[in-house]
Chain A
Amino acid sequence: MKNSVETKKEEVRKNIENMFESATKKIQNIISVCPDWFVKDVSPGYRSLIVYLKLKDVAKDMRMEVRYQSKVDGIHDESFETNIATCGNFGLLDESDNLKYYTAVGDVLNHKDMLSALKEIMVFYTKKITELQKEYDKLDKED
């Protein structure tokens, strides 16, 4: 009995991993209209998903985060948000990572269709991953 639960848990774990892999590929595909960025990571939160975008070809680790939070009664409203880093002063006519960063941020924000598609895919994967996590928790209690 316990062995079958363990086997099932292992399957769910694998499904969650596959789900993240699949989400990362799909998101990378959506983001490809903004070629300055690549998907560094897709992380789970509590019924939420965070996409870390990293700027290509720069020395510094320059990121932009996009977070989808599904509605959780009494705790969270649904939200789709992004977070931009602060770079301080930088030269306007020199080639710099900061200049590239703000240009690339503008590119993402101007691609409304891409952002809508990104939100849709994040909604989809948040739901799927949440379902799998619930299934895993249930099996864990049986174990």
Chain B
Amino acid sequence: MNTEIEKRKNEIKEKVNNLFEIFKEAVQITLAVCPEWKVSSANVNVDGAEISISLKECSDFYMKILYNKGDELVKESFDVRVTGGCTFNPLDDDSNTANYYCSVADIIQHKRMLKTLKEYMISSINVYRAFFKEYTSLES
């Protein structure tokens, strides 16, 4: 009996790891319309999901996309966090900062891609929640 429970728990762990991998790949494919970006990390938890993307040319320049499922107290949100402002030469083709802000503008104008990204985040959270629920019940 205990062995079966442990076996199922291990299966769930494996499925969760696969879910994370699939989620990251799906995000990378969805983001392909904005070729300047690559996915640095993509995490899912029971309340939300967080994607960190950075410029292919310079990984120090990144932005975070956050989805929060919300509850009775907190409203659902799908936000972006752009890194801090600084001074730079807008005519310097090699300026990563100038490229960064151009690439940010590119992403926020791709509304259809963003909707798809949000859907992926929601569906991955739902799958994760189901696994989490099952895992928790096996533990108790």
Whether chain B is bound by chain A comes out as: yes
Please tell me if the beta carbons of A103 and B86 are within 8 angstroms of each other in the complex. no
Please tell me if the beta carbons of A92 and B104 are within 8 angstroms of each other in the complex. no
Query: In the complex the two chains form, what is the Cα distance from A35 to B116 in whole Å?
Result: 30
A74 within 8 A of B: no
User: Quick one: closest B residue to A81, CB to CB?
Assistant: B87
Which B37-90 residues sit within 8 Å CB-CB of chain A? 65-66, 77-82, 84-90
Query: In the complex the two chains form, what is the Cα distance from A63 to B115 in whole Å?
Result: 29
B16 within 8 A of A: no
Query: In the complex the two chains form, what is the Cα distance from A106 to B82 in whole Å?
Result: 13
Please tell me if the beta carbons of B82 and A81 are within 8 angstroms of each other in the complex. no
When each residue 96-110 of chain A gets 1 if its CB lies under 8 Å from chain B and 0 otherwise, what string results? 000100110111111
When each residue 70-96 of chain A gets 1 if its CB lies under 8 Å from chain B and 0 otherwise, what string results? 000000000111111111111111000
B118 within 8 A of A: yes
**Interface residues of B toward A: which range?**
20 to 34
Cβ 8 A contact of B108, one of A102, A108, A115: A102
Interface of A is mostly: mixed
Query: In the complex the two chains form, what is the Cα distance from A105 to B101 in whole Å?
Result: 7
Please tell me if the beta carbons of A115 and B90 are within 8 angstroms of each other in the complex. yes
Cβ 8 A contact of A92, one of B79, B86, B87, B106: B79
User: Quick one: closest A residue to B65, CB to CB?
Assistant: A92
Cβ 8 A contact of A89, one of B81, B86, B88, B108: B81
Query: In the complex the two chains form, what is the Cα distance from A85 to B102 in whole Å?
Result: 14
Q: How many A-B residue pairs have CB under 8 A?
A: 79
B1 within 8 A of A: no
User: Quick one: closest A residue to B98, CB to CB?
Assistant: A109
Please tell me if the beta carbons of B90 and A102 are within 8 angstroms of each other in the complex. no
Please tell me if the beta carbons of A85 and B85 are within 8 angstroms of each other in the complex. yes
Query: Would A80 and B66 be within 8 Å (CB), given that A86-B84, A103-B109, A110-B102 are in contact?
Result: no
A55 within 8 A of B: no
Which A89-143 residues sit within 8 Å CB-CB of chain B? 89-93, 99, 102-103, 105-110, 112, 115-116, 119
Please tell me if the beta carbons of B101 and A92 are within 8 angstroms of each other in the complex. no
User: Quick one: closest B residue to A119, CB to CB?
Assistant: B91
Please tell me if the beta carbons of A91 and B79 are within 8 angstroms of each other in the complex. yes
Please name 8 pairs of A and B residues whose Cβ atoms are closer than 8 Å in the assembled complex, sorted by A. Answer: A66-B90, A84-B101, A85-B85, A88-B81, A89-B66, A92-B80, A103-B109, A109-B98
List of 10 A-B pairs having minimum Cβ-Cβ separation, nearest first:
A106-B105, A84-B85, A89-B79, A86-B85, A82-B90, A86-B84, A81-B87, A89-B81, A83-B87, A92-B80
Q: A83-B85, A92-B78 are in contact. List 4 more A-B contacts (CB 8 A).
A: A80-B89, A89-B80, A103-B109, A106-B102
